[in-house]
Amino acid sequence: MTTHSLFTDLEEPNFVKPNLQPLNLQLGQEKIYSFFMEIVNEKSPEEVLREFKRLFFDFLESGSLNTVPLIRKIISANNEQEFRNTIKRCCYIIVNNWASKRKYEAIQELINLLVNYDVPCKKSSYTSLHIYKSWLKNFVKSEDYQELKLFAHKHDHKGKTHWSNRYAAYLLVAQSLDVNNPKEQQEAARQLSKQMKDNFKFELAMYIARSQSSASSSTRYVNPSILGDNVLRLIKMIILKKGLFSYENLANIFIKQTQEQTFKGFKESIRKYLFFSVKNLDLVKILNQELKENLANWKPEYDEEVLDKNLFLRSCNRLIDCLTTENGREPSQLFILLLSQGHPLTLVIILLKIILICQNSRSHLEIRIAHLIRYYEKLPKDECKWVINFLEIFNITFAIYAENIEYNLIKVEEAKQNSQGKSKIDTYHVFSQLRENIY
């Protein structure tokens, strides 16, 4: 497909059969999408950006819409939503390709182009051009543009990045599962989210190994968390429960015990499972009562039915909602209660125990985490340190229980004089083993 055919032939007879109605909007959009799919594979980023500018910006300077019939058609219809759909999908066709090739600096150039490309309309009488410019400004101010920026945040060196960028992997999960997003956006978000999680898991494993080594400090990996060296004690606490009462074993036992159970019985069993081993009895009492009331009032018409896979999944998702956000807009009462009283690890372990019995709830949990990030990102870092602390613990805990990394505690034999004053947990080292290459 040539550039000439894209920009000048959209409404010529050789593109549509005679006696048919003029080219409709969807056909024009599909031709543009095909054009960008073709050139992003064949041309350099500089050339792709030049074609992108030609389609969406250059006519503003010339003052003529004749060279961009699709844009002319969208403006004539006064359809801002279709404009946004068009530019958004074109962006993600490009981003999806460049992200797979790790051309993040080129993605940053595309994002900067959208926000910085501002030229005066040559003919002030062209009201339609001013309308189009307002659409461009609205797009840059929109949630769509904020989502696009996630794909290049690592290479945005202009000042300090927002604290929420550390947790972009969860925001990307939400993008990847939103059926209203273009398929290119969903795929790009899925790939980048996985890459970011894998990078964190690998960096955490390397940091643990090197930080406990007697080798020179110059060989140490950078701590991927922001919890400082105390992260080692946290990791030891998380993996301390092994053997008969490990989280995995308890999950397997629970799954077996609840087979053929009624839905009402399951509601009671899952509360006991979640709070087993939580040492703070006052906290357990509050949590138990809150979840008891919530579950009792939820789908009581199914109470006497035998639990099936659908009810099991929906119940786990319901519990996740109760512990994070029930409406996707603001945090739940239990989330605020647990974090405000200093129990982020307890909350994370409860969420982990839900996922260990229902892996299919993992995506739902990560979407809820994304909702919480979106809610709190409006606040400066100093006002939501407790939430950031929770997110760090969540990151580490779910990295530890990743399928491709196995963590264990190993007792280190030390001379008595060296171990005096140390707590029991300090006499153990963390051993991590990569089960497979995560790249």
pLDDT confidence tier of residue 220, bands split at 50, 70 and 90: low
Nearest Cα to Cα of residue 206 among 15, 383, 405, 18? 405
- Which is higher by pLDDT, 228 or 370? 370
Nearest Cα to Cα of residue 400 among 248, 265, 281? 248
- Which is higher by pLDDT, 72 or 386? 386
Residue type, 27: L
3-class state of residue 428 by DSSP: strand
DSSP string, 124-171: TT-HHHHHHHHHHHHHHTSHHHHHHHGGGGGG--SSPPPGGGGGHHHH
pLDDT at position 22, please?
39
Whether the Cβ atoms of residue 269 and residue 257 lie closer than 8 Å to each other:
yes
pLDDT digits (tens, 9 = 90+) for 341-384: 899 999 999 999 999 999 999 999 999 999 999 999 999 899 99
pLDDT at position 312, please?
96
- Is the pLDDT reported for residue 61 higher than 80? no
pLDDT at position 361, please?
96
- Which is higher by pLDDT, 154 or 30? 30
Whether the Cβ atoms of residue 151 and residue 95 lie closer than 8 Å to each other:
yes
pLDDT confidence tier of residue 13, bands split at 50, 70 and 90: very low
pLDDT at position 263, please?
95
Q: Which residues contact 321 (CB under 8 A, 6 or more apart)?
A: 332, 368
* Percent share of the chain, pLDDT over 70: 82
Token digits for 31?
């031709």
What pTM, to 2 d.p., does this model score? 0.84
Whether the Cβ atoms of residue 90 and residue 33 lie closer than 8 Å to each other:
yes
Q: Where are the domains of the chain?
A: 3-161, 197-434
Q: Chain centroid to CA 425: how far?
A: 33
Other Cβ atoms closer than 10 A to 346: 20
pLDDT at position 77, please?
83
Other Cβ atoms closer than 10 A to 432: 19
pLDDT digits (tens, 9 = 90+) for 162-212: 899 899 999 999 999 999 999 999 999 999 999 999 889 888 888 888 777
- Which is higher by pLDDT, 121 or 427? 427
Burial of 253 (0-12, 13-18, 19+ CB in 10 A): middle
Whether the Cβ atoms of residue 270 and residue 255 lie closer than 8 Å to each other:
no
3-class state of residue 195 by DSSP: helix
- Is the pLDDT reported for residue 415 higher than 60? no
In angstroms, the CA 324 to CA 317 distance is: 10
What are 429's strand-pairing partners?
410
* Maximum distance among all Cα pairs of the chain, rounded to whole angstroms: 95
Mean per-residue pLDDT, 238-247: 72
Mean per-residue pLDDT, 2-22: 41
Nearest Cα to Cα of residue 309 among 351, 354, 350, 358? 358
- Which is higher by pLDDT, 65 or 265? 265
- Which is higher by pLDDT, 84 or 246? 84
CA 159, 165, 167: angle at the middle one, nearest 5? 160
- Is the pLDDT reported for residue 256 higher than 90? yes
Nearest Cα to Cα of residue 402 among 430, 373, 362? 362
pLDDT at position 125, please?
47
Residue matched to tokens 């999944």: 313
Whether the Cβ atoms of residue 401 and residue 352 lie closer than 8 Å to each other:
yes
Here the contacts of 157-162 (C-beta below 8 Å, separation 24 or greater) are: 162/377
In angstroms, the CA 235 to CA 408 distance is: 10
Sign of the CA dihedral with 294 first, then 296, 300, and 304 last: positive
Burial of 214 (0-12, 13-18, 19+ CB in 10 A): exposed
Nearest Cα to Cα of residue 367 among 177, 138, 183? 177
Sign of the CA dihedral with 43 first, then 46, 52, and 57 last: negative
Residue matched to tokens 């307002």: 134
Average pLDDT of every residue of the chain: 83
pLDDT digits (tens, 9 = 90+) for 283-310: 888 999 999 999 998 999 999 999 999 9
Whether the Cβ atoms of residue 171 and residue 143 lie closer than 8 Å to each other:
no
pLDDT at position 160, please?
60
3-class state of residue 286 by DSSP: helix
